[in-house]
Amino acid sequence: MNQSPSFNVERGLWDAGFSHVAGIDEAGRGALAGPVVAAAVVVAPEDENAPVWRAVRDSKLLSPSQRAELEPQIQASALAWAIGTCEAAIIDRVGIAAATRLAMQQAIERLAVPPDHLLIDWVRLPQVNIHQYSQPKADQKMASVAAASILAKVHRDRLMIAMAGQFPQYGFAMHKGYGAAAHLAAIARHGPCPEHRHSFAPIARSPHLFDQ
């Protein structure tokens, strides 16, 4: 049974003198199309008991309607929040790991309140000169990271739904660019579009099959 995320880690940092701790997570790292999106969320120590923080979870454990309901509550209750994106073309150029770090850096730079410590799910940001702690499954353990996972997921889903209007043949609104059977069949039928990650399989594995 999954334990609810808490502010235990954040509280330890607040007690140590860090007042602007940012939780950071991404969405879309494993997709075949669309951007990778990162979010950063700063919660003020005095606001840790706001009701929304008891409801946040790793975004993957929530339904789309639950995430959509929580998004505005997180934005209203956070001291600061921001979004960063890295498009498919950049992912192809620099690789998904570097693109994920770029999206996270963008989110950090866009925060209205400069963070003095980062809590990050999985990823390390050695090029960012801010105290940081990276932990696997941080979005299941740390409330600020769970909140960031929700903002990143909702924002990316919204982008993919908009993208579906531009490229209706791929069904982006349904699978959000991930490798669902219907998506793979659509790529095989229509070839890739500019929003696909051409460095990812199956496109990279069979480039001539998908030539347009």
So what's the pLDDT on residue 202? Answer: 87
For 110-168, the pLDDT digits (tens) are 999 999 999 999 999 999 999 999 999 999 999 999 999 999 999 999 999 999 999 99
So what's the pLDDT on residue 95? Answer: 98
So what's the pLDDT on residue 193? Answer: 96
Q: Residue 184 pairs with which residues in a beta bridge? A: none
So what's the pLDDT on residue 192? Answer: 95
| Exposed / middle / buried, residue 162 (Cβ in 10 Å: 0-12, 13-18, 19+) | exposed
- Rounded Cα–Cα distance for residues 96 and 156 (Å): 16
Q: Residue 134 pairs with which residues in a beta bridge? A: 120
- Rounded Cα–Cα distance for residues 159 and 47 (Å): 30
- Length of the chain in terms of residues written: 212
So what's the pLDDT on residue 51? Answer: 97
- Rounded Cα–Cα distance for residues 45 and 5 (Å): 16
Closest CA relative to residue 197, chosen from 173, 179, 171, 174: 179
Structural domains for the chain:
8-167 (3.30.420.10)
Asked whether 6 and 141 are in contact (CB, 8 A), the reply is yes
* Bond preceding residue 202 cis, omega within 30 of 0: yes
Angstrom CA distances, 113 to 43, 50, 147, 180, stand at 10, 19, 17, 39
Low-confidence ranges of the chain (pLDDT < 50): 1, 208-212
The one-letter amino acid at 181? A
So what's the pLDDT on residue 209? Answer: 47
